[in-house]
Amino acid sequence: MDFLISAAHAQEGQAAGGGLIEFLIMIVIFFAIMYFLIIRPQSKRAKEHRAMVEALSKGDEVVTNGGIAGKITEVGENFIRVDVADGVNIAVQKQSVQSVMPKGSLKDL
């Protein structure tokens, strides 16, 4: 019956595992993908938001992260005053401004 069973079970297997170089190449590729897909776009958005917050001025129409829309009446170092209705002003942190609307956008409301 020996002629039907292959002699492969008697042979030694090859050494398992790849080399250290292949592992390091995979790690570098992984970090490059993470950088270009996650880190770089996030830092670009943060830079744009920081520039927008620094450029806020009196008269700008803004929308906050909470969804409050209004016109800036006063700009401080950390806070701004936003006129949300006739005679209703609220103090909002500058960092909570989500976007600056085009002039005249609030007249439609």
How far apart CA 44 and CA 37 sit, in angstroms, is 12
User: Is 58 in a helix, a strand, or coil?
Assistant: coil
Q: The whole model's pTM is what?
A: 0.69
- What are 42-76's pLDDT values in tens digits? 999 999 999 999 999 999 999 999 999 999 999 99
